Amino acid sequence: MDGSFAKPPLTGEGMHALAAELYPICRSLTGDGVRRTLARVAREVPLEIVEVPTGTPVLDWEVPREWNIRAAWIETLDGRRVVDFADHALHILNYSRPIDMVVSREALAKHVHTLPQQPDLIPYRTAYYADTWGFCMAHRTWEAMTDPEYRVVVDSTLEPGRLTYGELHVPGTTEGDILVSLHVCHPQLANDNLSGLVVATALAQRLLNGPKRRLGVRFVFLPATIGAITWLARNEAAVDRVRHGLTLSCIGDPGPFHYKRSRREDAAIDRAVAHVLAARGVEHGILPFSPYGYDERQYCSPGYDLPVGCFMRGVHGTFPEYHTSADNLDFIRPEALAESLSVLAEVLDLLDADVTYARTDGGKGEPQLGRRGLYRQIAGQKDQGGLDQMAVLWVLNLADGKHRLLDMAERARMPFAKVRAAARACEEAGLLEVVPDTRR
């Protein structure tokens, strides 16, 4: 990237405004809603749009038929609409086949989805691989529908087309990449969809505006499950470059942070996220790996076993707004989006700076620091930018060609930034050199 495309990173308010712009669009696994969404993101960052034809084999799957919808409603026989897709995209069972017929209330009941325990909310339901149709509505609405018959209309298409995803690679100076993956297939769900999308967009803008980094960062904007499977099937060379990875979801709500570890459980990404959250002193939870959740389960499948964890605030399935109409623009907050962006930027910065050092003098004894000016820097530690003496001593002791900076920070129980500052000062003084580290 030459930086010519780069826009200033979105603020918290800017991310929320972008989410508001995208919120009304009906997205799904495929179709024009995904294309419209990615086209809007491509105005912020140089996103490459990829389309894969229906029927294309991808691992054990194949790309499904493309679904688009124009309208859907339920009306009384005198023409009064009681449920209308135009009012909320969640009203339609996602991937419903077209239909126009009069049905009894009893027959309609088999195609109606509600939440009796949350009677005022519309649930989000899908039928991606089932040849069926359906409507979702507030339970109170369904209880009020007492007519013996209703006309149901779904004006949709389900036919051969394409699956669409977006990709952006910000190259680094090495052959390694950090993968940042998010899903773009949920309609009118602000936290469980758009929060990850807008934060990833702002994060990409930050990288495009900044200096070249050691590690590249590859962003993939995908429909869930089938999108990640399609990307993996088509990108063997890119997969081999992945050194660390994160899936992003539900990072716009004001709740505490949560991180689900990768399948490896102790990969550098797992330790980096835990370190950053702990050093910030924010409320958070670290969760064990599970083969259920978002697309980390695809990246962490045994044939790949990539070091990819899931970064969240609210944990999927555990908060009352999840997959309901309550997951709206009021549920996500500009300040929460901005904080999520800040944490992720710090994690990426840590990973980029997490190199392995060795002593240039062979590590025999403690080097003389005074004649190298390091004690003057340590003496100024009360001033901004001064070095921490213990950080310097730990770095000089562990710089044996086997320890990365994160290893040192964990061993010393110090913030990564202090250890990194000490290592850089020692490197500038000629005491340390970066050595290759092929660990993944």
CB atoms within 10 A of CB 21: 13
Annotated binding-site members = 186, 192, 323
Q: Which residues are 155's β-sheet partners?
A: 71
Q: CA angle, 432 as apex, 427 and 435 as ends, to 5°?
A: 115
Token duo for residue 377: 């820097």
Residues belonging to the binding site for Zn(2+) are: 186, 192, 323
CA distances from 398 to 100, 391, 405, 423 (A): 72, 11, 9, 11
Is residue 58 a contact partner of residue 229, using CB atoms and an 8 Å limit?
A: yes
Q: Length of the chain in residues, anyone? A: 440
How far is residue 440's CA from residue 67's CA, in Å, rounded to a whole number?
39
Distance CA(68)–CA(155), nearest Å, equals 9
Q: Is 370 helix (H, G, I), strand (E, B) or coil?
A: helix
Q: 76: which 2 tokens?
A: 């009384």
CB atoms inside a 10 Å sphere around CB 148:
8
Q: Look-up: residue for tokens 């709206």?
A: 328
Cα distance from N-terminal residue to C-terminal residue, the chain? 25
Q: What angle do CA 170, 172, 175 make, to 5 degrees?
A: 115
